Amino acid sequence: MSEQYDPIAGLYTNAQKEFFQGKLDPARGFIYTHLPRQNDVQILDLGCGAGTDVESLLNLGYQNVKGIDSSAEQIALAQSQSSRHECFNVGSFEATGMPDKSVDLIVCRYSLFHVRNLDAAYTEMARILRPGGKLIIADSNPKADALEDREDTPDGPRISYALYDGKVKVHKPLHTQEEFLSETFLKFFKVDETAEFQSPDRISRSSAIPVGMAITAIRKGE
């Protein structure tokens, strides 16, 4: 993921900010309506990019928020725009560097879909989440992804599409719904809610199929 986003960190962040100026971001909306009432919980934004959501959560009064991203350029950009440099670290979905059972809530907004091996990410999330902790995913809908042009690569199939009025083009692994809700996922997590949503930043090839999907789940265990 860092190979894709390091060269376009500034372009991507600015294009996203300009596009959503005055517009509703349904993915953020879903996440924010599912946040806990307590402001002292430990929150991790996994795949935080340039730290927009981390800053928003801090501004909402949450005291313990961290952001991790595999792109060193995105993390550097996040730190340059924040007075809370210590909130941001380079890491990956598969190796966050966080201690066991140290997080109450993990949020992933359009980031998990870049991971090829979702089960490895789920195993790491389960390690760092406390039992009863919450996972909120707002991501690309596999049903919409299946309609995009597919490219076969040595690492597996992937798709590409344009965002933010065509200003940015991204590529990602092609995942199925079964991969998102895999046996490994269901071993560690109890699904609380699923949803689908349209989003203006990406045009679906079928108006009947929303481009976004969301999952909330609770970490199993005592």
pLDDT score at 9: 75
Residuewise pLDDT in 10s, the chain (222 residues): 557 777 777 788 888 888 888 888 899 999 999 999 999 999 999 999 999 999 999 999 999 999 999 999 999 999 998 888 899 999 999 999 999 999 999 999 999 999 999 999 999 999 999 999 999 999 999 999 999 989 999 999 999 988 888 888 888 999 999 999 999 999 999 999 999 999 888 877 777 899 999 999 999 986
pLDDT score at 2: 54
pLDDT score at 114: 92
Strand partners for 168: 163
Q: How many whole angstroms separate alpha carbon 84 and alpha carbon 87?
A: 6
pLDDT score at 207: 79
**Which residue segments constitute the domains of the chain, with CATH numbers given?**
2-12+24-142+176-219 (3.40.50.150)
pLDDT score at 1: 57
Q: Which residues contact 123 (CB under 8 A, 6 or more apart)?
A: 184, 188
Q: Which residues contact 102 (CB under 8 A, 6 or more apart)?
A: 42, 128, 130
Structure tokens belonging to residue 36: 């806990």
pLDDT score at 222: 65
Cβ count near 46 (within 10 Å): 28
